[in-house]
Structure 1
Amino acid sequence: MGIRVTSEIKPLKKVLLHKPGEEIENLTPEYLERLLFDDIPFLEVAQKEHDAFAEILRNNGVEVVYLHELAAEVIADPQIKEQFINQFIDEAGVKSEAVRKDVYNYLMSFKTNEELVRKTMAGINKNELPAIEKKSLIDFVDDEYPFVTDPMPNLYFTRDPFASIGNGISLNKMYSVTRNRETIYADYIFKYHKEYKDTARLYNRDYDFHIEGGDILNLNEKTLAIGISQRTEAQAIEKIAERIFFETEGNQIETILAFNIPNSRAYMHLDTVFTQVDYDKFTIHPQIEGPLEIFELTKGEKGQVNLVQETMTLQEILSKHLKCDVKLIRCGGGDYVISQREQWNDGSNTLCIKPGEVVVYSRNYVTNKVLEEYGVKIHVMPSSELSRGRGGPRCMSMPLVRED
């Protein structure tokens, strides 16, 4: 029951996924930037690729659960359902009272809760609602924009809205308004779902500073790594440290390593530039080797977090805290052109399902060959369309349980 994740590599037992749906087909070229996409995936193929991903996991003993199914189970309670719909409308920014009423009635009209949840994810087009007589200024604003509520195409990257840390979670305040709405589903699951409602929250979506799950790596039961990146602020890491060291029980974390990585889309999250594939092996983007600015946060006295600044290479800091000689496996084998190409398609972003065994994208064939040369077993998934969202197998998965 609940969350238990103290490692990036221990055998994966249960994972949360989101199969992309109609929200992908609500992407249009003029609104790609608003919705944080670079391209429009072909949904039919993307869904087949995602099914292949889920099947690889199931064939290797992993229980797969889906975000929309957990959310639908929560809103089986009529009171929670009404609360959810009203909160969804608020967070979608629907201002007009007439439109709010129509959206509410529309969502209440769905025959199943799974269909309702899927529709909130897909976005509501204006042509799905009855024609509304414009009565106030707000009814005329954004008249040309096609959606009453925006689609959430990034949802299939389940790594980001919340992150499993030990037996707790960081329920994240996302970098952009577009993605911050995604965390409503986890909010309800961790408030009301019978399996997850007692899970400790190490961070909450209404805190002041943004943080995303792709920046959070459980190196082992005692060491947590978090990236200070384009999408995670230093103040959020300090807040998590205070919660872990002084305000919650049951975790074993003694050190939090804050990696200061470039603030750019190319280094969007820490897990886009390195992921762990075995006890002593990591895939990396060659340009992240360092030396890096790293901050070690530990528990101090009188409720204070101790902070030590260091400048070390990635290999040095990982070897120090994992207490072994870490090997770094360069994306593209270190070749500049190949690494740049395969890094664009998340060649360094792998999902480890057990030590030395990972799921990878088929299109990163050079990096995949190098992994095999290092003795890593790979499970290759199709990736022509899913990769257009700029995220790899780790990005598309949120472990809920790993073996101790």
Structure 2
Amino acid sequence: MSKPINVFSEIGKLKTVMLHRPGKELENLMPDYLERLLFDDIPFLEQAQKEHDHFAGMLRDKGVEVVYLEDLAAESLVSEEVRIQFIDQYLDEAGIRSHAVREKVREMLIATEDNRELIDKTVAGIQKVEMPEYQIEGLADMIESAYPFIIDPMPNLYFTRDNFATMGNGVSLNHMYSVTRQREAIYGQYIFEYHPRFAGNEVPKVYDRNDTTRIEGGDELVLSKDVLAVGISQRTEAASIEKLAKNIFKQELGFNCVLAFNIGEYRKFMHLDTVFTMIDYDKFTIHPEIEGELEVYSITPKADGELNIVREEDTLEHILAKYLNRDSVQLIRCGDGNVTAAAREQWNDGSNTLTIAPGEVVVYDRNTVTNKALEKAGVKLNYIHGSELVRGRGGPRCMSMPLYREDLTK
């Protein structure tokens, strides 16, 4: 592989993918604080890990190299200087008000000699009971005295699609929607800057996590070597898409158009890939509820470096066919068009498929109506269990970050 990142489509044969195996961060979820941590339910960790291991094993059986974010992050701490830098940055973003408490946590993390153990701890979060010498200091600490954490866990991290996104030979290091998830992007920052797999390869950065407007990887889709699709959603702002487009065109990654999909700021539509994914050269999954009011804007570069933005006045099928140079495309509707089935199965990520080769996808087994519609359309399905992992409101695409896909031949 000449470059460590090569993602010029959603459907090219998947060769390398990054996952995060759920860990103790899920056991730090509590009913009273689910909204704060962007969860609706509490998965059973042991079963969630079994489901995730089955997912990873199925990908390996298909010839995919599976690498883990937690391993790459640990391997990125290549020197004591980088290690201390990571710990300090992590603590700077952890929201600890008390300087004394911060110093005690810092001492604990520095004393954790094994880098993988250190990464796992930063993901899991730190309870107050883990620090026997923790003392309440100041009014803010007194007001939040019942809150059990010094540092919040990162339970959303197994959705590796979001905190950064690969496109072309580059990566978008994302500014996340919430403070809780913004810290997740630290791992991507260190992986792409210091890990031996990427360091020295000059991986183009097309978005900066320190930028002021939010964007998440679930809204970023690579439709072809020429065209990206980005959702304007609960988690991604229109202004971020303009910044991303300017950076991509300026760095000449090969893309010449960004299609912006305005899907609305609804929790149930969280990201574009929860309602729309590409599964073959001319086939897409879609949640029927977004079709009627969906607005699509095409963004192309001007000679002066500015953007030409046009609202596309046509059906989604025609817009996609036009920009993908196809005679037509097929939209396969979640729930096979049935309103009740569509709502239920979209909630369980029936439209969130991971394509591992043209016309071959990974899906949750629980979305039976949608899965039958996909099979009827000639799509090859690989099933994974959808009992505990789905409680985080994310599907196979959400849980995977492709690092390398084969280029398409047609």
Q: TM-score, normalised by structure 2?
A: 0.96
Q: Distance in 1 between matches of 2:342 and 2:152?
A: 35
Stretches of structure 2 lacking an aligned partner (at least 5 in a row): none
Q: Which residue number corresponds to residue 56 of structure 1?
A: 58
Q: Which residue number corresponds to residue 225 of structure 1?
A: 229
Deviation larger for 75-84 or 9-18: 75-84
Shift of 1:135: 5.1
- Classify 1:270/1:43 alpha carbon distance in 2 versus 1 (closer, same or farther; 3 Å): same
Deviation larger for 347-356 or 310-319: 310-319
Write the letter of the residue equivalent to 1:34.
Answer: R
Q: Distance in 1 between matches of 2:293 and 2:182?
A: 33
Trace 1:95-110 onto structure 2 (pairs within 5 A): 95-110=97-112
Alignment check: 8 A CA contact 2:78 2:195 kept: no
Shift of 1:268: 0.7
Alignment check: 8 A CA contact 1:290 1:313 kept: no
Q: Distance in 1 between matches of 2:176 and 2:132?
A: 33
Shift of 1:399: 0.4
Deviation larger for 133-142 or 174-183: 133-142
Q: Which residue number corresponds to residue 36 of structure 1?
A: 38
Which of the numbers 336, 352, 356 marks the counterpart of 1:353? 356
Q: Which residue number corresponds to residue 20 of structure 2?
A: 18
Deviation string, structure 1 residues 114-152 (Cα, Å, up to 9, x no partner):
111001000000111132344544553421110000000
Within the alignment, does 1:311 sit opposite 2:283 as a pair?
no
Which of the numbers 142, 156, 172 marks the counterpart of 2:144? 142
Partner-residue secondary structure (3-state), 1:220 = coil
- Classify 1:27/1:134 alpha carbon distance in 2 versus 1 (closer, same or farther; 3 Å): closer
Within the alignment, does 1:242 sit opposite 2:246 as a pair?
yes
Q: Which residue number corresponds to residue 326 of structure 1?
A: 329
Q: Distance in 1 between matches of 2:136 and 2:158?
A: 36
Deviation larger for 100-109 or 146-155: 100-109
- Classify 1:139/1:10 alpha carbon distance in 2 versus 1 (closer, same or farther; 3 Å): same
Q: TM-score, normalised by structure 1?
A: 0.97
Partner-residue secondary structure (3-state), 2:223 = strand
Q: Distance in 1 between matches of 2:370 and 2:312?
A: 30
Shift of 1:170: 0.8
Q: Which residue number corresponds to residue 91 of structure 2?
A: 89
Which of the numbers 214, 218, 224 marks the counterpart of 1:214? 218
Q: Which residue number corresponds to residue 162 of structure 1?
A: 164
Deviation string, structure 1 residues 223-265 (Cα, Å, up to 9, x no partner):
000011111101101101111112x14x110111011112111
Identical positions, percent: 59
Within the alignment, does 1:387 sit opposite 2:390 as a pair?
yes
Write the letter of the residue equivalent to 1:387.
Answer: V
Deviation string, structure 1 residues 70-96 (Cα, Å, up to 9, x no partner):
010011411111111111111001121
Within the alignment, does 1:200 sit opposite 2:204 as a pair?
yes
Stretches of structure 1 lacking an aligned partner (at least 5 in a row): none
Partner-residue secondary structure (3-state), 1:55 = helix
- Classify 1:10/1:128 alpha carbon distance in 2 versus 1 (closer, same or farther; 3 Å): same
Q: Distance in 2 between matches of 1:44 and 1:133?
A: 33
Write the letter of the residue equivalent to 2:12.
Answer: K
Q: Which residue number corresponds to residue 275 of structure 1?
A: 277
Which of the numbers 3, 6, 9 marks the counterpart of 1:4? 6
Write the letter of the residue equivalent to 1:102.
Answer: K
Alignment check: 8 A CA contact 2:228 2:257 kept: yes
Q: How many residues align?
A: 402
Shift of 1:340: 0.9
Shift of 1:2: 1.8
Write the letter of the residue equivalent to 2:330.
Answer: K
Shift of 1:366: 1.3
- Classify 1:137/1:288 alpha carbon distance in 2 versus 1 (closer, same or farther; 3 Å): closer
Write the letter of the residue equivalent to 2:384.
Answer: M
Deviation string, structure 1 residues 259-278 (Cα, Å, up to 9, x no partner):
11121111111101111111
Alignment check: 8 A CA contact 1:299 1:305 kept: yes
- What do you get for the CA RMSD once the two structures are aligned? 1.2
Write the letter of the residue equivalent to 2:63.
Answer: G
Q: Distance in 2 between matches of 1:145 and 1:109?
A: 25
Q: Which residue number corresponds to residue 374 of structure 1?
A: 377
Segments of 4+ in structure 1 off by > 2 A?
Answer: 132-141, 288-292
